[in-house]
Amino acid sequence: MKDGWTVTLGVGKQLSVHQLLESFTFVLLDLLRSFSSHSFGLSCFTLFILIMFLGNTSHALLGLLGCLALLPQQAYTASIPSEDRLFRFGRVYQGLHHISHSDSDSGDALTPTKRTVESSSVDVATSTAPETANVIIPAYAYPSNGAWTPLEDLITAHPDVHFTVIINPDSGPGANSLPDENFRTAVPKLAAHDNARVVGYVSTARGNRAISDVEEEIKRYAGWPSASGDKAFAVNGIFLDEAPTGDGGAAVSYYQQLASLIKKSEGLGPDNYVVTNPGAVPDAAYFGLADSTVIFESPYSEFQNLLSSDMFDSIKGTDLSKFSSIVYSVPEDTDLQGLVSQVKSISSQNYLGGLDTYMSYDPLLTRVVPLLG
């Protein structure tokens, strides 16, 4: 645009562009002054006056229009507290203590505080919440003479660890509708812990056992609360032992049917937890059938052999929360921290024991559980 050009108005009057610009600037100046309380608006106003004094009105108008285009965004940004701008990007630094000039002069460090966001307290000093440890324990000991006391003490001592405890009254629930009085006393005490889930053992013989027999035992467990008249005497799921590893349509349907029965059985609630135990990594067709699948159950030496031969490569990238590992016969001098890291690399629910039996409490658990947590 050149200042020597003219413009004909609708009323027939001609004005030079220079004159038109000078008239129009008074309107724009009023708008600009309304933003002069912001440092950005004040800077634009000063720049405009300077260019006007230099005598180039068209350049001044172009600069003015550019400033006006940016002013709404600047005004909007200025109206948002800095802490809220940070929060929009998923950060929680808005809770940091604001320091005055006297604070900064003294060299005091910023102190993390808490800020309430939608009724939840966010601690800015903690970047991520610690992962909850999950332990699975085959507890097949008969509950007499304080046999379950060490297990109860372990659960009590680690309230932040979640325990799934497998009980086995008689290679299953037993032939009767209820087990004996010792179980009726011990099971409610064990299940009373908020961080413990009790599940009942059932054998499936690799899918070769008559499914009606397996279903009968599941129903017997589910009937404990009603048969005993005690809602606290209950298990909250079933451990389906001796599951297969190979892919077979009939076998998959077999375990689908059992899992469905467990899930809909009122007496196994509220968890209705399903664990299958092939003892090795099964075909992927079985993964969706259970809440947890035991992908390893063997001695420590066998576990090390499988790790070195990359036998767990097939589950890399899958959801490890769906897998459990049971490692027994762990030598006394084993690097437990290293072993814990190994098992947690393949499963999130684990058991490490020094004994080769589940018929008594394994004292190694006292050392292992804190490491798992």
At 249 the pLDDT is: 86
Taking 3-state DSSP, the helix, strand and coil percentages for the chain, each rounded to the nearest 5, stand at 45, 15, 40
Give CA–CA dist 296/166, Å, rounded.
16
Give CA–CA dist 197/190, Å, rounded.
8
Give one word for 66, left, alpha or beta, with left for phi > 0 and alpha for psi -120 to 50.
alpha
Per residue, the 3-state secondary structure of 313-359, as one string, reads HHHCCCCHHHEEEEEECCCCCCCHHHHHHHHHCCCCEEEECCCCCCC
At 86 the pLDDT is: 30
At 110 the pLDDT is: 30
For the chain (373 residues), the mean pLDDT of every run of 10, in chain order, is 44 47 47 45 46 50 48 40 32 29 35 31 33 93 96 98 98 97 98 98 98 99 98 98 91 98 97 98 94 98 95 92 98 98 97 98 98 87
Q: In this structure, are residues 364 and 352 in contact, taking their beta carbons and an 8 Å threshold?
A: yes
**Mapping DSSP to helix (H, G, I), strand (E, B) and coil, where does residue 244 land?**
coil
Q: Which residues contact 355 (CB under 8 A, 6 or more apart)?
A: 328, 329, 362, 364
At 57 the pLDDT is: 52
Question: 133-372 — its CATH code?
Answer: 3.20.20.80
- Which DSSP symbol is given to 272? -
- Look at strands 292-299 and 133-139 and give their pairing: unpaired
How far from the centroid of its chain's Cα atoms is residue 109's Cα?
32
Residue 108 has a CB neighbour count (10 Å cut-off) of 11
Instruction: List the one residue out of 239, 235, 348 whose CA is nearest residue 290.
Output: 239
Give CA–CA dist 195/305, Å, rounded.
33
Q: In this structure, are residues 135 and 162 in contact, taking their beta carbons and an 8 Å threshold?
A: yes
- Look at strands 6-8 and 14-16 and give their pairing: antiparallel
**pTM for the whole structure:** 0.66
Q: What are phi and psi of 89, to 5 degrees?
A: -100, 20
Q: What are phi and psi of 278, to 5 degrees?
A: -75, -20
At 68 the pLDDT is: 45
- Residue type for position 190: L
- Residue type for position 70: L
Q: Which residues contact 184 (CB under 8 A, 6 or more apart)?
A: 178, 228, 230, 233
Give CA–CA dist 140/267, Å, rounded.
21
At 365 the pLDDT is: 98
Give one word for 87, left, alpha or beta, with left for phi > 0 and alpha for psi -120 to 50.
alpha
Q: What are phi and psi of 128, to 5 degrees?
A: -140, 150
Q: In this structure, are residues 332 and 354 in contact, taking their beta carbons and an 8 Å threshold?
A: yes
Domain locations in the chain? Answer: 6-79, 84-123, 133-372
What the block records as the tokens of 230 is: 């005690």
Cis-peptide into 179, omega within 30 deg = no
Q: How many residues are given for the chain?
A: 373
The burial class, CB within 10 Å (0-12 / 13-18 / 19+), for 215 is middle
At 122 the pLDDT is: 28
Give per-residue burial for 245-260: e unless 16+ CB within 10 Å, then b: eeeeeebbebbeebbe
Taking the alpha carbons at both ends of the chain, their separation in whole angstroms is 74
Residue 110 has a CB neighbour count (10 Å cut-off) of 12
At 217 the pLDDT is: 99
- Which DSSP symbol is given to 11? T
